[in-house]
Amino acid sequence: MSFLTDPVGVSHFLLVGAVMFVCGVVCMATKRNGLGVLMGIELVLNGANINFVAFGSKYLRSESLGLDGQLIALFVIVLAAAEAAVALAIALNFYNNHATIDVDRADELKG
């Protein structure tokens, strides 16, 4: 039980990021609703962001500025915002056409 009294380190952040990533993958795999799948994608991206920031910390690499992980996480946040905007537009269009956002009904889409 010494892990409860240890100071927060890089391994703790990596564990939280891995748990968020796995929760996101499980959410994407089990949800039938399109918005639930989008929330799972956001959890996966946020878990990856936490790991990027943890790997870019000064505790692992003292010779750099330590901003590598933060910059990559910033790009991932911008990518997630663009993905959410496009995916919500697609979901609203699908809802207008089919009156549901069930992903099993999406096999009617032609590309």
**CATH 2.40.50.140, domain 2-105, yes or no:** no
Instruction: Give the tokens for residue 51.
Output: 């790991």
Q: DSSP secondary-structure letter at 109? A: -
Cα separation, 43 vs 41, whole angstroms: 5
pLDDT value of position 71: 87
pLDDT value of position 6: 74
Burial 54-83, CB ≥16 within 10 A → b, else e: bbbbeeeeeeeeeeebeebbeebeeebeee
pLDDT value of position 86: 92
Cα separation, 70 vs 84, whole angstroms: 21
pLDDT value of position 66: 63
| Tens of each residue's pLDDT in the chain, 111 residues | 666 777 778 888 889 999 999 999 999 999 888 888 889 999 999 999 999 888 887 777 667 666 788 888 999 999 999 998 998 898 888 888 888 888 777 776 665
Provide the whole-model pTM. Answer: 0.79
